[in-house]
A and B are shown apart, each in its own frame.
Chain A
Amino acid sequence: EVQLVESGGGLVQPGGSLRLSCAASGFTFGSYVMSWVRQAPGKGLEWVSGISGSGGSAYYPDSVKGRFTISRDNSNNTLYLQMTSLRAEDTAVYYCAKGTTYYDFWRGSDYWGPGTLVTVSS
């Protein structure tokens, strides 16, 4: 059974940093692209980063480029999201999501974790 479990969320002050983790199990982790998708309270979904199966290619939208860094440890089946220079508008539930292919994160994510809440506030 595929399982994704996020951790690391919490309350952080504006300008602060936070690292999220996602523990994966039940599939060959290194064979699939992984993404982070967030959802602000009462709002829609927003993709914030994607990383290829090997970890060699990473992608970001302009809204987080230069502030967020996605990485993965295929030996420990874990996905990470390092977030810096956090802003109030980064407040959201952050989901870890498994892609359906090795590289094309945009082709859909078939498994999602329950999410971890990040609150940016003073």
Chain B
Amino acid sequence: QSALTQPASVSGSPGQSITISCTGTNSDVGRYNYVSWYQQHPGKAPKLMMSDVSNRPSGVSNRFSGSKSGNTASLTISGLLAEDEADYYCSSYTTNSPYWVFGGGTKLTVL
């Protein structure tokens, strides 16, 4: 069982917006602004999409945005494109071992 809880799957139609949640505790997501998000296409390495909750790396589309409220972080993708279909993982610093934890992943399907 993963330390951070994500929905197993979400879906949306092209052009729509979707939000993926990532729920932790007050020892990780709720305490630190060190939440990052990764996109992973099948058979490929993960790609950083967001760091420090809402910092978008250079080259990542501004259709991606991050936020946090209490123990839950969120990744929102607006204007869905077919190429956004992938697995998405959140991660956070946590007070005790293992220090850096990931969510179980969310499969995004673009209908």
Residues of A within 8 A of B (CB): 35, 37, 44-47, 50, 59, 61-63, 65, 95, 97, 100, 104-110, 112-115
Contact = CB atoms under 8 A, between A and B. Distances in A.
Interface stretch (B19-27, B73-81, B92-100): B92-100
B97 A62 contact: yes
Given A44-B89, A44-B105, A45-B38, A105 B45 contact: no
Contact of B101 (A47, A65, A115): A47
25 contacts: A44-B104, A44-B105, A45-B46, A45-B89, A45-B102, A46-B102, A47-B99, A50-B100, A59-B99, A61-B99, A63-B98, A95-B45, A97-B46, A100-B48, A100-B51, A104-B34, A106-B91, A106-B99, A107-B51, A108-B48, A109-B46, A109-B48, A110-B51, A110-B57, A115-B45
Contact of A108 (B44, B52, B104): B52
B98 A47 contact: yes
B48 A44 contact: no
Contacts, number: 69
A100 B105 CA distance: 22
Contacts of A114: 44-45
B45 A108 contact: no
A45 B57 contact: no
A84 to B, nearest CB: 19
Contacts of A97: 46
Nearest to A64: B98
B92, B100, B105 — which one has the most chain A CB atoms within 10 A of its CB? B100
Given A61-B97, A95-B46, A106-B92, A47 B36 contact: no
